[in-house]
């Protein structure tokens, strides 16, 4: 299926590895030019070159922490009139909530709530003017169901979800949509960090804990970055203009409720 977005332009935050990279690959496959971002220069350059080679689209690399105003400025300078914004970042390290001091809490809220809001503010009026915009926020299944140790991540992303829900309604009539993708357990570097935390807490080996976790997923396995990226690309497609304010779980059936 041609998603009808060939030649469009996307800023994809935190996209040199993992889920952001999956979104970048899927959009590049559809012929979208990209601004790719990550803090590690070498990894970012390698990802950008691989995407250029594979899909022949224009890829601009913007190195740096997406939460910093000067990095956000460079992202917007590299692509002043994006059609697509994918908000993403690394997520706070898993921690017992008792160990979070004020600095850590503010950093988590800045990364997972303030930064996507700031970037949305930077792009949305242009999208409204041009009558096309797709904003996708990568949040987490932990917005729906708590995960011990990820309380800061859950709280900040729940705040982001509510903030964006109201805005989505004010721009829908200009063909600008805002949706959230909620990863459950997908095969990336990040899942290995959270699995290690869970294994240590449960006093189990990484392998045993990981196998136990996989069994709890109705699909019986971790999801792939490709599966995640394709869902993102559809939400960014020409055909998704009537889908907005949604929270789409990509979790292999892990979330227990029917609703
Ligand atoms: N994987 C899952 O199953 C899962 C589940 C629930 C929620 N999530 C959330 O989904 C998001 C993406 O996770 P992932 O699994 O793709 O993680 P990942 O594999 O660790 O990849 C994170 C990517 O973001 C970049 N990055 C991290 N912090 C950044 C920052 N401050 N500024 C710019 N780039 C940054 C990393 O590159 P550099 O390190 O070079 O900057 C890398 O490209 C995270 O917020 C995570 O908490 C993931």
Band of the pLDDT at 93, cuts 50, 70, 90? confident
Using a cut of 0.85, tell me whether the model's pTM lies above it: yes
| Of 160, 182, 82, 169, nearest in space to 116 by CA | 160
Band of the pLDDT at 91, cuts 50, 70, 90? confident
User: How far apart, in whole angstroms, are the C-alpha atoms of residue 251 and residue 182?
Assistant: 8
Residues with CB under 6 A from ligand 1: 14, 16-20, 37-40, 43, 65-67, 88-91, 111, 138, 140-141, 153, 183, 185-186, 188-191
More confident residue, 91 or 15: 15
Residue 146: per-residue pLDDT? 83
Mean pLDDT along residues 199-226: 94
Residue with CA nearest ligand 1 atom 31: 65
Q: Which residue has the tokens 């970048």?
A: 24
Mean pLDDT along residues 54-64: 98
Mean pLDDT along residues 233-253: 98
User: How far apart, in whole angstroms, are the C-alpha atoms of residue 127 and residue 171?
Assistant: 9
Q: Using the atom order of ligand 1, give the atom closest to the CA of residue 15.
A: 43
Mean pLDDT along residues 203-229: 95
Can you read off the two tokens belonging to residue 119? 């970037």
More confident residue, 194 or 172: 172
Whether pLDDT at 226 is above 90: yes
Lowest-confidence pick of 142-151, 156-165, 243-252: 142-151
Q: What spacing in Å lies between the alpha carbon of 84 and ligand 1's midpoint?
A: 19
Residue 47: per-residue pLDDT? 98
Distance from the first to the final alpha carbon of the chain: 29
Residue 148: per-residue pLDDT? 86
According to DSSP, the residues that pair with 37 across neighbouring strands are 62
Half-sphere exposure of 245 (CA within 13 A, CB side): 12
Mean pLDDT along residues 28-56: 98
């Amino acid at each position: 299926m041609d998603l009808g977005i060939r030649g469009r332009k996307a800023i994809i935050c935190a996209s040199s590895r993992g889920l952001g990279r999956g979104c970048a690959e899927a959009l590049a496959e559809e012929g979208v030019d990209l601004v790719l971002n990550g803090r590690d220069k070498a990894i970012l350059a390698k990802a950008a070159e691989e995407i250029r080679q594979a899909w022949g689209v224009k890829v601009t690399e913007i190195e740096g922490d997406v939460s910093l105003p000067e990095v956000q400025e460079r992202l917007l300078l590299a692509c002043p009139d994006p059609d697509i914004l994918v908000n993403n970042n690394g997520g706070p390290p898993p921690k017992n909530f008792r160990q979070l001091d004020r600095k850590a809490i503010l950093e988590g809220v800045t990364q997972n709530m303030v930064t996507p809001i700031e970037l949305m503010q930077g792009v949305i009026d242009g999208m409204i003017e041009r009558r096309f915009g797709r904003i996708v926020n990568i949040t987490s299944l932990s917005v729906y169901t708590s995960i011990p140790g990820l309380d800061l991540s859950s709280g900040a992303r729940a705040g982001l979800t509510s903030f964006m829900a109201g805005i989505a309604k004010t721009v829908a009539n200009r063909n600008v949509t805002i949706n959230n993708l909620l990863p459950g357990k997908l095969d990336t570097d990040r899942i290995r960090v959270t699995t290690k935390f869970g294994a240590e807490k449960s006093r189990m080996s990484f392998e045993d804990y990981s196998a136990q976790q996989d069994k709890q997923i109705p699909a019986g396995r971790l999801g792939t970055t490709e599966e995640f990226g394709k869902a993102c690309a559809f939400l960014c497609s020409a055909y998704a203009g009537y889908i907005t304010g949604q929270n789409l779980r990509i979790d292999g059936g892990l979330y227990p409720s029917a609703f």
